[in-house]
Chains A and B, each alone.
Chain A
Amino acid sequence: AQSVTQPDIHITVSEGASLELRCNYSYGATPYLFWYVQSPGQGLQLLLKYFSGDTLVQGIKGFEAEFKRSQSSFNLRKPSVHWSDAAEYFCAVGGGGSYIPTFGRGTSLIVHP
């Protein structure tokens, strides 16, 4: 069975600083990997996804993520955080017979001015 771990419950950064949110997955084969963002009071929105090919994936809003098979990781990065990036971020993994992704517990991003 697949699983996702987001080790950080909360991350606090200053506006303009760089950001890295961690995601580790467990899955036997090549996984499908996703990052979603949930702004307060809103539904989830897809930031980016990895299915195959280039391991560095570009997404919306200036985000990118890198798939590292050796570390079973898919960390999300942004070079300069904006106050509007404050939200909950979810990593998800999918694969095999079930095409419903398994979501991590989320990381709450707090941005200080």
Chain B
Amino acid sequence: DTAVSQTPKYLVTQMGNDKSIKCEQNLGHDTMYWYKQDSKKFLKIMFSYNNKELIINETVPNRFSPKSPDKAHLNLHINSLELGDSAVYFCASSVDRGFDTQYFGPGTRLTVL
């Protein structure tokens, strides 16, 4: 059983388009995260939700909007895609906020042309 799943796995799109990445966890966790991993493998937190409420919003352009319809799902919508948005985006979840173990999804590789 997949604990944290993301769709799609690969996403290739043109500049200016709008796209969404979906994330679901079946672990019963309360907290979910979005990370961005750049071409040099640097991993940076973008957002964190706890029980559907936004609790962390790092310095991310307004073009990125997370949405959590329920505590098992955290989707990421990106408007007006730019070349610099090309990266691997990881969803993760943990039991609660705090330094609990984070369980990561397989990642979505976004390529903006």
A and B part of one assembly: yes
Query: Would B43 and A43 count as touching, CB distance under 8 A?
Result: no
| Interface hits, B32-47 → A, CB 8 Å | 33, 40-45
Query: Would A44 and B90 count as touching, CB distance under 8 A?
Result: yes
B4 at the A interface (CB under 8 A)? yes
B97: A residues at CB distance < 8 A: 99
The complex places the Cα of A99 from the Cα of B104 at a distance, in Å, of: 16
Binary per-residue interface labels of chain A (28-50) against chain B in the complex, 1 for a CB within 8 Å, 0 otherwise: 00001000100001111110010
Closest to B3 in A: A43
Q: Give the size of the chain B interface in residues (CB under 8 angstroms).
A: 22
A41: B residues at CB distance < 8 A: 106-107
B17 at the A interface (CB under 8 A)? no
Judged by DSSP, the binding face of A is strand
The complex places the Cα of A46 from the Cα of B105 at a distance, in Å, of: 12
The complex places the Cα of A100 from the Cα of B99 at a distance, in Å, of: 7
The complex places the Cα of A44 from the Cα of B44 at a distance, in Å, of: 13
Query: Would B104 and A44 count as touching, CB distance under 8 A?
Result: yes
**A-B contact sample (15 more), CB < 8 A, given A51-B99, A90-B43, A100-B45:** A32-B99, A41-B106, A43-B4, A43-B90, A43-B104, A43-B106, A43-B107, A46-B102, A49-B99, A94-B99, A99-B98, A100-B33, A101-B99, A105-B41, A106-B42
6 residue pairs of the A-B complex, CB under 8 angstroms, read: A43-B107, A44-B92, A46-B102, A100-B48, A100-B56, A106-B43
